[in-house]
Amino acid sequence: MQRTKILLDENDIPKTWYNIQADLKTPLDPPLNPKTKKPAGPDDLKRIFPMELIKQEMSRERYIPIPTEVREIYRIWRPTPLYRAKRLEEYLKTPAKIYYKWEGVSPPGSHKPNSAVPQAYYNKKEGVERLVTETGAGQWGSALAFSCRLFDLQCRVYMVKCSYEQKPYRRILMETWGAEVFPSPTKHTNVGRQILKKNPHTQGSLGIAISEAVEDAATHDNTHYALGSVLNHVVLHQTIIGLELKKQFQMLDEYPNIICGCVGGGSNFSGTSFPFIQDKIRGKKPDLKVVSVEPLACPTLTQGEYRYDYGDSVGLTPLLKMYTLGHTFVPAAIHAGGLRYHGDSPLLSKLTKEGYMEALAYNQEEIFEAAMIFAQTEGFIVAPESAHAIRAAIDFARICKKKKEKKIILFTNSGHGDFDLTAYDAYHNNKLKNGIYHKPT
């Protein structure tokens, strides 16, 4: 009998994270100090990050131990299940097998606590009392609020204004775990006040919210900044997804041919794909197809430039070598708020530039059509971000049908959509707007 759900035991939770920097053919271009434009070192970062995370950011060790305290908290929801989407396969009449890793089982409802928990842990160990962050759709803010509560840390979240208005239940969730939540831009920071003065009706962006959070951290002695995506230590923590997946596919005696996932900053898809890309880099799986999926409203990988740029809107952060649409870019207020970021993970960007990964982009109507198909076949209502991965998986499955290919398609379902029902309601009532990106001339 074919298995629908592939489960691991708690003892199978990985004991280490995988650091793909150890297997790169050439080193990652370093971050640059925003003032001197010279490579940033630990001294440039220690004002807003604990030293252990700085070490992870710069490490080229292949495997980095997961602290026992972090693994104990992971046990609340990990290992997460791998599903065979048999009803979706039957609906599509495809010979392909479709699998998805379901990260929506965590208390905050997404993959984000995979990094929020260790970030809170390392900050607590260093004596930090308060963490500040930004959040797009609210998944990262929820995860950090949850993690700060576990470690008795204060938490402030700058939530992108359009998402703050679209997703009130995410705000309530964060506040239930004790966090302060404000719609960004705010009047709490110099950055926010300046932006509101220029454009009082702005819908905000992740870049603006990052600027506010970094300023907040840099101006309070008891405070550090926590980031939910992009940086090396964040995608490192997320590799627990791909490491579990490798064990689950070993149980099936199978290996994916195509891996796809949604990408904004790139944390969940990097975490899913990097342990498999290791095999591609080493020449063991040269034909493995790894595909990032992004919104046409914010097409960093498909239409952006690969160059150094700031991680925030006003230039407070180090410059990162990445695909970018420009740090001042403010995307349309699409419902996939977690994908409204002007840049991408430097590691994911480098692997894309070198041909180990590729990218696709879709509009809102296309991804909600896929989300509806998934909900009506597999039952789960997913976040708009995750629906991008489903859209690509469906399209690849249809190609397999046309070519009569029995390929194995994998994607990570990064979070549930229980707090995104207003977006589904807009789809039902034909009120979605496809915010298409227009490249500046």
Any idea how long the chain is?
441
pTM of the model: 0.95
410, 338, 293: which is closest to 143 by C-alpha? 338
Judge contact between 158 and 184, C-beta under 8 A. Answer: yes
pLDDT digits (tens, 9 = 90+) for 378-391: 999 999 999 999 99
Instruction: Give the DSSP letter string of 383-427.
Output: -HHHHHHHHHHHHHHHHHHHHT---EEEEEE-BB-TT-HHHHHHH
- Mind giving me the DSSP string for 160-214? EHHHHHH-HHHHHHHHHTT-EEEEES-SSSHHHHHHHHH-TT----HHHHHHHHH
**Peptide bond before residue 14 is cis, with ω within 30 degrees of 0:** no
Q: What is the dihedral of CA 227, 382, 412, 289, to 10 degrees?
A: -110
Does the pLDDT at position 441 exceed 70? no
- d(CA 85, CA 251) in angstroms, rounded, equals 17
Q: What is the pLDDT of residues 62-117, one digit of tens each?
A: 999 999 999 999 999 999 999 999 999 999 999 999 999 999 999 999 999 999 99
Report d(CA 395, CA 249) in Å as an integer. 22
**pLDDT tens by residue, 294-319:** 999 999 999 999 999 998 888 888 99
DSSP secondary structure, 50-87, as one string: -HHHHHHHH---SEEEPPHHHHHHHTTTPSPPEEE-HH
| Domain-wise residue ranges, the chain | 5-9+70-109+234-428
Nearest Cα to Cα of residue 331 among 323, 322, 320, 343: 343
Whole-number pLDDT of residue 1: 55
Q: How far is CA 348 from CA 121, 269, 306, in A?
A: 25, 9, 11
**How many angstroms separate the CA atoms of 261 and 392, rounded?**
8
What pLDDT does residue 129 have? 97
Q: Which amino acid is at 24?
A: L
Which CATH code for domain 5-9+70-109+234-428? 3.40.50.1100
